[in-house]
Chain A
Amino acid sequence: MKDGGFYYEFENPSKVVAGAGCLSDAVKKLPALGLHNAFFMCDGHDKDSAVDEVLKAVNSVKVRTGAMYVNSEKVVCLASLREMRDVYRVNNCDCIVACGDYRVINTAKAIRLLLSGQVVRFEDVKGINVAKKKVEIPLVVIPTCVGISNVVTSGALIKDDDGDVSECVSPLAAPDYCIIDPSLTSVFDTPTTIAGALESFAKNIEEFVSKQAITITKCMNLIAIREIRDNVFKVVNDPMDEHAVLGLQRAGLLAGVCYSNASAGIAHALSGALSNVTGTDNYICMGIVFAACMRYNLPVAEKDYAQALYYIIGDDRYAATPAQDRARTLIETSEKMIKELLEENGLPLTLSDIGMKEEDLGKVVDETMKSYALVTNPRIVTKEDVYEILRSVM
């Protein structure tokens, strides 16, 4: 493996089934896998909701709902996981079906890690590649929000007993099945949809310029960026447009697949740290810091940014932009788009808007420096750089 060699690794253990009305066909495969008693996880169960529809579809193929867990935690804590593990065992469940937003999917992956590794202590699951597979626990995920990129990633966040959030990265966390049906997607909460789409846009750009990016992930990222450009305004204008919703779902999914293989960069590390410290949703923090992070990476990622611009502004405008201005144009276009969408939908634009104070910066910087995503950021990040970025968006 010499410098500049052609060595690369790519992994995506999840089977993806996507399309309008694909749910009924996809669940028919569950009994063939020997699954009969599901541990069902969701973010709330109302009549005629997407969750209700999924439950009906699962039950129609003679897969029982052995137990149901309604998740309300942003990052699942150990106590809840222990409780869930006991419920799963008492009810003799043989698989996990998770239907909901990114929080439900994160919790489902965390409980899968614990159960399939038969973990007793938190240390046996915390970190990279620590959990070892002992029992087969199939996991099926059905996202109901736009732009969820953690659907197929091989990692989960868990809050320990002291309240510290730890990353648990293992191929065991990746789901076996991922069912994406736009008819189940809730797009009526426009701010959440916009924030989700912006987060997957930011992630795709970050993954594209990542140090770990390979040709396969770069192709996926560019396609995803185009999907977002084509569909984000369509969904805002018409939430019932299934094609546009599926386009945004696909972009989120591609961001997730690439994240497992190319990792991300400083914006991901910063938004995660901000989310942990302030309690604000990750995707909102991403919207605030992304443009500043792009500007920070500009000196080393100019070529990649220029390339990505084509997929955002299209042929004519790309051809009309002088080659030396393309990278800067990408940043300006992205910043303008993000600002407009955030402003129109009443989402926070600065760190002060989410209640961040100057004295909390140190905590965020320390958290950021611990993030794995910094390793693959194209520019070497120091503490002072992080302070500077944060101050620029205060």
Chain B
Amino acid sequence: MKGKKPIKKAITAVNMYFFARSVVCCNKYDENFRKYVGMLPDRFVFRFRILPDGTSMTLVKRDGKLSATTRRDFTVKPDVDVCFKNLESAFSFVTGRKSLAKCIAQSAFVIQGDVSGMMTVSHMFDIVGSYMLTDRFLKKYDRAILPRTAGVNKVRFMTLFGRL
């Protein structure tokens, strides 16, 4: 548990980057995902951080469009701010072994902000999980297997190589 864990940090950062891309991709191709995005107010900002000063990811909804970035920008006050208490829990989340809901239930992070916004984002991330991970993997880690309205391979390909 002790030490700087540079490999784990690097994996978390890379996974977080691709997770941000997959969120944008799902918004582009999945209908159910877009319904949830529609429920968020305009100029909604959601931020993930790994404490004390690790990787972060910011989701912004502006003019009905959703963008996600892993660039650090602490000038904007987020509507929902989620701070992972340690790298271990963040690693479990970005590698798909824990859903956002499970992380909350296990007190893996400190949450600050709007409850309904956070719940909507939690449902959105479940949809992302059902595209990025296989059914077998989702079942193994007790995660939701949700109906997909777009091609899994298409979303995966666009996440990895597409221009978003």
Contacts and interface: CB of A to CB of B under 8 A. Distances in A.
A128 B115 contact: yes
A130 B118 CA distance: 13
Interface stretch (B4-12, B15-23, B83-91, B151-159): B83-91
B29 to A, nearest CB: 20
Contacts of B92: 3
A161 interface: no
A47 interface: no
Interface size class of B (residues with CB under 8 A): 20 to 34
A239 B92 CA distance: 53
A374 B111 CA distance: 16
Contacts of A370: 115-116, 119-120
A375 B101 contact: yes
A382 B117 CA distance: 17
Interface string B99-127: 00110111110111111111110110010
B144 interface: yes
Interface residues of A, number: 28
Nearest to B87: A1
Given A127-B113, A128-B113, 19 more contacts: A1-B106, A2-B88, A3-B92, A127-B112, A128-B118, A129-B113, A167-B115, A210-B105, A366-B39, A370-B115, A370-B120, A371-B115, A372-B115, A372-B119, A374-B119, A375-B101, A375-B119, A376-B105, A380-B101
Interface of A: 1-3, 7-9, 126-130, 166-167, 169, 210-212, 263, 366, 369-372, 374-376, 380, 382
A130 B112 contact: yes
Contacts of A211: 101-102, 105-106
Contacts of A129: 110-113
B150 interface: no
Given A129-B110, A212-B105, A212-B106, A1 B115 contact: no
Given A127-B114, A127-B115, A128-B113, A382 B146 contact: yes
